[in-house]
Amino acid sequence: MTAEQPVSRTAKIIGVKESLVLIEVDENTPIMKNELGYICVGNERLKAEVLRVRRHTADMQVFEDTRGVRVGDTVELTGEMLSAVLGPGLLGQVFDGLLNPLHALAGKYGFFLPRGVTVPALDQEKKWHFEPGVAIGDRVSPGGVIGTVPEGVFKHKIMVPFNEPGPVEITWIRGGNLGVEEVIARYKSSKGIERELTMSQRWPVRKPIPEALIRRRYAERLYPAEPITTATRIIDTFFPIAQGGTGCIPGPFGAGKTVLQSLIARYSTVDIVIIVACGERAGEVVETIAEYPETKDPRTGGTLMDRTVIICNTSSMPVAAREASIYTGITLGEYFRQMGFHVLLIADSTSRWAQAMRETSGRMEEIPGEEAFPAYLDSSVKNVYERAGVLRCPDGSTGSLTMIGTVSPAGGNFEEPVTQSTLGTVKTFLGLSADRAYRRFYPAIDPLISWSRYLDQLGAWFTRNLDANWVRDVKSMQELLEQGDGIYQMMQVTGEEGITEEDFIT
């Protein structure tokens, strides 16, 4: 999309604290919260985002190492929010938290990336065959489809910018093999402004894509009424997750979170998978990156990577980009949902994301909450998960974004703030148990601590598609498991002799 060019301005650095810099502008220069800027250090330009504004000064978090940044250095403010570039070519890619394609970066700069380098998220050279779906004179609503591009097994829909206030009139359109930044159409906006359209558009990552579309009745949020099938019995039967729903997998180190998420990604009944590897160890992420292109996809016959996007911000990468990475992943998920796809986003792990927030919050000297996490941790967690959901898109198709976040509570302590905030937000809790993992139980989901609020919510679906008594039978089985655990505990005290034969059979 070609939009009006934002006005760029400059500021000066007046303080540096780790990845946080304090900047000052002159009296007539406004600064916007979440505005993107570049710290100029010699020939390097370090990407940064405004976090807090106070009159003529602002705190910016820098997404790179701040070594060598000095008071007096210049900051270029872009007037743009931190945004993701959306368009064909995202699938099968591995990005960092700011949507830099890592393979392309390594190809250009080598494996040891210098500071301040960027590569466009979408391949600028590649040609895509655009097939128009509308004609000159047609009126298309914001988010409406003007044509498609084949991308692997999918048809990637090219849509009218989501932030248009009303229907646009197509004044010119062309098809053929074109690059992502080439003009494919022109339209007149509802305010009579002529604009050009390319296959890509930018969207601020912290703002939900469908927000304005829903407000203006071009899209509609639907109540999740179908489960996703993960092909893992304990989840599908006892602790189902709705398509467009939310779930979390808390578990201590070594309990099998990564194996479980990998299998969920592989076998779930979703079209597109987005993995946000957030603050995990590099070795673990490398395993995922190496494994996915080799893993046969049971749904398409290709590889799992063909319909996957990996956003990767390991524990060794700058902490500020880790905080942003989860929003980048969600924005991609929302973008594919707008096309009517069913998307699964797995965030591994939200604890590391929260730790990144804690670091930044500490540097900003905000009043700390429990365990020094920021006081707004709970609302931040909720803001993230509430972007999941089922949506009726402007073209009438239905898409969904299902979110599963893993949580890594230190020492397996589920009482810590991140786990507790997550539990108050998600509707499925798949608690992994170190004890079960130690006893080689896979998946190590403990049925006695896990729960799902979707079992009743999806009752009608289960009745229609499985069995009229499904929910009742599952609940009776859960009761039996609890009963069995009680008897097992009793046996630990009294021995086998102390219980009746009936209890023994249970």
Partner 1 sequence: MVYLQQDAFDEIDACMPRERQLESFRLLKGLIDAGYQFKDKDEARSFFTELTSLYKNWNYSAYGSTDFARYRKEIVDLAVKHGYIETPEA
Q: Does 495 bind partner 1 (CB under 8 A)?
A: no
| Number of residues binding to partner 1, judged by CB under 8 A | 29
The nearest distance, CB 451 to partner 1, in angstroms, is: 15
Q: Is 21 helix (H, G, I), strand (E, B) or coil?
A: strand
* Residue 454 Cβ vs partner 1, minimum distance, rounded to whole Å: 15
Residue among 19, 66, 200, 232 that touches partner 1 (CB under 8 A): 232
Q: Which of residues 261-290 bind partner 1 (CB under 8 A)?
A: 263, 266-267
User: Which uninterrupted H or E stretch holds 347?
Assistant: strand 342-348
Minimum distance from CB of 262 to partner 1 (Å)? 9
Asked if 388 contacts 403 with a C-beta cutoff of 8 angstroms, the reply is yes
The full length of the chain comes to: 506
Interface stretch with partner 1, choices 102-110, 171-179, 260-268, 394-402 (CB under 8 A): 260-268
Choose one: 153-161, 166-174, 255-263, 409-417; the region binding partner 1 (CB under 8 A).
Answer: 255-263
Question: Binding residue for partner 1 (CB under 8 A) from 166, 442, 489, 494?
Answer: 442
The distance of closest approach from Cβ of residue 433 to partner 1 in the complex, given in angstroms and rounded to an integer, is 12
Q: Does 245 bind partner 1 (CB under 8 A)?
A: no
The distance of closest approach from Cβ of residue 229 to partner 1 in the complex, given in angstroms and rounded to an integer, is 5
Q: For helices 377-385 and 319-338, what crossing angle results, to 10°?
A: 30
Strand 272-278 and strand 342-348: the pairing is: parallel
Other beta carbons within 10 angstroms of residue 112's beta carbon come to: 6
Looking at residues 191 to 230 of the shown chain, list those that interact with partner 1 (rule: CB under 8 A): 229
Q: Identify which of residues 4 and 501 has a Cβ nearer to partner 1 in the complex.
A: 501
Residue 301 in contact with partner 1, rule: CB under 8 A: no
Q: Counting contacts by CB under 8 A, is residue 68 touching partner 1? A: no
Burial of 274 (0-12, 13-18, 19+ CB in 10 A): buried
For partner 1, the binding residue among 477, 482, 483, 498 (CB under 8 A) is 477
Residue from 100, 152, 157 nearest 325 by CA? 100
Q: What are the residues whose beta carbons fall under 8 Å from the beta carbon of 43, sequence distance 6 or more? A: none
Per CB under 8 A, 451 contacts partner 1 = no
- Yes or no: say if 80 and 46 are a contact pair by the CB < 8 Å rule: no
Nearer to partner 1, 113 or 263 (CB): 263
Nearest CB to partner 1, comparing residues 65 and 473: 473
- Which residue in the set 123, 169, 182, 473 belongs to the binding site for partner 1 (CB under 8 A)? 473
482 near partner 1 (CB under 8 A): no
Among 23-31, 180-188, 303-311, 496-504, the segment contacting partner 1 (CB under 8 A): 496-504
Residue nearer to partner 1 on the CB measure, 299 or 363:
299
State in angstroms the smallest separation of the CB of 466 from partner 1: 5
Residue in the block written with tokens 């009963």: 483
Q: Which stretch binds partner 1 (CB under 8 A): 14-22, 83-91, 124-132, 258-266?
A: 258-266
Residue 259 sits in the site that holds partner 1 (CB under 8 A): yes
SS3 per residue for 214-271: HHCCCCEEECCCCECCCCCHHHHHHCCCECCCEEEEECCCCCCHHHHHHHHHHHCCCC
Q: Is the dihedral of CA 104, 110, 111, 113 positive or negative?
A: negative
Distances (CA, A) of 505 to 238, 474, 487, 488: 22, 19, 10, 11
Q: Least CB distance from residue 97 to partner 1, whole Å?
A: 29
Cis preceding-peptide flag for 443 (omega within 30 of 0): yes
Candidates 283, 290, 384, 291; CA nearest to 329 is 384
Cβ–Cβ < 8 Å for 251, 412: yes
Look at strands 398-407 and 246-250 and give their pairing.
parallel
- Applying CB under 8 A, which part among 4-12, 57-65, 149-157, 498-506 lies near partner 1? 498-506
What is the C-alpha R_g of the chain?
Answer: 25
Q: Using the rule CB under 8 A, which residue among 466, 471, 487, 491 binds partner 1? A: 466
Angle, CA 379 vertex, CA 412 and CA 61 arms, to 5°? 90
Please count the CA atoms within 13 angstroms of the CA of 175 that sit on its side-chain side: 13
Shortest Å distance, C-beta 445 to partner 1: 8
Cross-strand bridge partners of residue 41: 44
Would you tell me which residues interact with partner 1 (CB under 8 A)? 229, 231-234, 236-238, 256, 259-260, 263, 266-267, 298, 441-443, 445, 447, 466-467, 473, 477, 480, 496, 501, 504-505
